[in-house]
Structure 1
Amino acid sequence: MSTPIEKKPRTNHLELARRIIEFTQESGMATGDALPELQLARTFQVSRTLIRAGLNVLAEQGLAEHQAGRGYALLADPNNQELSHALPQGEEEELAASILRDRMAGRLSNSISASEIMRRYSISRSAAQKALSQLCEDLVLERGPGQSWLFRPLLNNLTALEESLHYRIMLEPEALLAPGFEADRSRLSLLRSSTESLLACAIEAFDIEQFRELDIGFHELIASSCGNRFIGDALLHHQRLRRLPNLLPMVSVHRLQESLREHLRIIEQIERGQLEIAADLLRLHLRLSAAQRPQTANRGIPQGLNQRR
């Protein structure tokens, strides 16, 4: 039986903390700026009590501070692209992550139920249902017959990764070419600066996790900027799937650095309004990524990843 999940911050408080961070980034705030409770409560249309809970989460993580008689102030640099990911996971998120890890390791079958989750992780039915709902929202699970939940395909083997890239080659360039494409200039600028900062690091200091967040953030930006809601929605759903554990560490750091340079060239063409050129560069970028992946015909799954289909 797995170890019970450690007590974590409430998910709604964490979500508010993340939204506050996004607000500081979008508003052009700087380190040391005040975080006014009343303004934030009006912006997010929630109570000041909830805002205070979100600010307390930021303070606990060293991202903000509370000064008696003066309120909260921002300690972190809002220009840091990875700021929102510095927060811990909530109770449901941590449990969902444990379920996903067990599935990826082959310790769970294709079908699970709330009762099985309750027994395995020593939790209440309410906690189990919330975790299952979280996994459903993350496109990991779907409702099965009766009280069962079925695992959806994951990016947990080389065939799935190849299929994912083929899907993206077909659809992502079309997102750029669809009428109405419009990217947020501030988000493009933030993405560019964060990408350039990572590229400036020595190869031995290259942060794989930071690359992963920048990579997904880049492709999410293209999806969310698409003028065709159906293409954009499909791509955003797929990017959420990419946020789950995958085989990214198998790719060389040299390829990851080159991938970031390709991102920068695409961003440059988007900023210039040259969307057809950007689409061509994006298609080439995805094909190069596919060519660098190990092929299923001659490479196996890395040791430690016991897959069950």
Structure 2
Amino acid sequence: MTQDRSIALQVVNQIVALIHAEQLPVGTHLPAQMLADRLRVSRSPVNEALALLHEKGIVTREKHRGFFVARPVETLEAAAPDTVTAAYFQLAEDLLDGDLPMEVAEQTLRARYGLTAAQLNTMLTRIAREGWGERKPGYGWQFSTMLTTPDSLLQSYRMRLALEPAALLEPGYTLDARTLERLRAAEQHLLDGGIETDTADQLHDRGVRFHEALVEASGNAFFIDAIRRVNRVRRLLSYRSTRNRTRYAAHARQHLHILSLLEAGKNEEASQAMRDHLEHTLTALASIRGVLRG
């Protein structure tokens, strides 16, 4: 399998996960640029992935208009056995457990996880895009030490505690109705059973989309850049925290409450509710430090 084909198949799975997690109705437009921005990839693999989904009947193509959801995605439909994703999560676990050095040669990674050269490149490209690893001169990789302790995740939440409530109070704050309904549907999906059935990727990305969308509605480019950066670097410990899912129902209800306040124009109350929500999460994470350690 070529590198480009492997990346496109990964994007296929991500698009299907997005349709599933947000319960996008039939007829929803799927602009390639929007998907590229959400998935942090170029438009080329997105266009190839949409073409593959069109062949599978999951999306439909309309001339001069683009791609649209063709049918509901009731369960996750993998495009192919995802060896790269399995290796990605195992590498993450190995880093958090201290079983993998923070600097390692590409050949070592390829042998350790049983990957082809193209698969390894796809995995490392994803890691670099998410901001927790970078290529060293030559053929080695270096991973971020910021991600390997429970304190890292707690510190990221304290940073968000300072930023996100303030974003909701920015002058001209506007959360459009379509975004609000999309976010509300995603939270209801969790309460309707998604907490138990969604993957770690889906749970993490659903939370990221909620918080980033609310900050983006502030229109403050500095806030937006900061929240995107912190969300990239907290991904690994966030995955591990999904082992304990008992807190997610409360989080979904808190998210829905914040959305209702914003819809009513009660931004002061929404800001306080966001502060309470993040403080609640900090307390919950502190109580599962053992899970975060491995």
- Aligned 8 A contact 2:12 2:53 in 1: no
Of residues 238, 244, 249 in structure 2, which corresponds to 1:250? Answer: 244
| Cα distance between partner residues in 1 of 2:291 and 2:28 | 48
Q: Call closer, same or farther: CA 1:133–1:198 in 2, change over 3 Å.
A: closer
- Aligned 8 A contact 2:9 2:80 in 1: no
Shift of 1:86: 6.3
Q: Call closer, same or farther: CA 1:200–1:97 in 2, change over 3 Å.
A: closer
1:104 matched to 2:96: yes
Q: Call closer, same or farther: CA 1:112–1:218 in 2, change over 3 Å.
A: same
- Aligned 8 A contact 2:96 2:293 in 1: no
Q: Call closer, same or farther: CA 1:74–1:216 in 2, change over 3 Å.
A: closer
SS at match of 1:177: coil
Identity of aligned residues (%): 22
Which residue number in structure 2 is paired with residue 77 of structure 1? 72
Of residues 7, 19, 24 in structure 2, which corresponds to 1:11? Answer: 7
Shift of 1:151: 1.3
| Cα distance between partner residues in 2 of 1:151 and 1:237 | 16
> Number of residues paired by the alignment?
277
Unpaired stretches in structure 1, ≥5 consecutive residues = 67-71
| Cα distance between partner residues in 1 of 2:264 and 2:188 | 19
Unpaired stretches in structure 2, ≥5 consecutive residues = 37-41, 62-66
| Cα distance between partner residues in 2 of 1:16 and 1:250 | 28
CA-based RMSD: 4.7
Which residue number in structure 2 is paired with residue 280 of structure 1? 272
Q: Call closer, same or farther: CA 1:283–1:87 in 2, change over 3 Å.
A: farther
SS at match of 2:131: coil
TM-score by length of 1: 0.67
Q: How does 1:1-309 map to 2 (within 5 A)?
A: 10-12=6-8, 14-15=10-11, 30-31=25-26, 51=47, 54-57=50-53, 59-60=55-56, 63-64=58-59, 74-77=69-72, 95-123=87-115, 127-144=119-136, 147-153=139-145, 155-200=147-192, 206-207=196-197, 209=199, 212-244=204-236, 245-250=239-244, 253=246, 255-295=247-287, 301-302=290-291, 305=294
| Cα distance between partner residues in 1 of 2:167 and 2:79 | 31
* Structure with the higher helix share, 1 or 2: 2
Shift of 1:287: 0.9
Shift of 1:138: 0.9
Shift of 1:275: 2.1
TM-score by length of 2: 0.70
> Any idea what the Cα deviations from partners look like across 1:267-299, whole Å, max 9, x if unmatched?
11222233222111101111122123335xxx7
| Cα distance between partner residues in 1 of 2:274 and 2:82 | 35
Point out the structure with max Rg over C-alpha.
1
